[in-house]
Amino acid sequence: MSTTTKTPDFSTWPKKGSRASADQPFEADDNGGVELTAHPILTSGSADIAVSDLGKRLAALGFENSASRGENPFNIVDGSVMAAVRAFRKAYGVREPTDGFEGDQEQADRHIGPWTATAIVRASDR
């Protein structure tokens, strides 16, 4: 008897109201067909033009921050940007894989990695 494992449909990922325990594209063998954006990995204190882009996208989704308010001319990941990212992750059930963080989810959550950036872009492009 053959057993077929169905890959979850990630065409609507991320979806507002999802739980972080829900299937994530990075857990699928083929990333669930989700293509990652070319944003760098960011953490508190990082400075990059991507902060401005992500900040504006977060605000469009209802998560205001210093970058979206024009109060962050150096595009630094500050407390308000990280708070917006945390709120987005919670609202959309997004999490980063722990592979690069020795399996430590708390450490992974301190970063804006490729999966979070991709989720923000996908959600704001809808």
pLDDT tens column, 20-31? 888 899 888 888
User: H-helix or E-strand containing 106?
Assistant: helix 105-109
93 is written with which tokens? Answer: 């059930």
Phi, psi of 60 (to 5 degrees): -65, -25
CB–CB of 63/120 below 8 Å?
no
Instruction: Give the per-residue pLDDT at 6.
Output: 63
Q: For residue 47, what are the β-bridge partners?
A: 76
| Distances in whole angstroms, Cα of residue 7 to Cα of each of 3, 10, 19, 26, 54 | 13, 9, 18, 12, 29
Q: Which residue shows structure tokens 């630094």?
A: 76
pLDDT tens column, 44-58? 999 999 999 999 999
| pLDDT surpassing 50 at residue 113 | yes
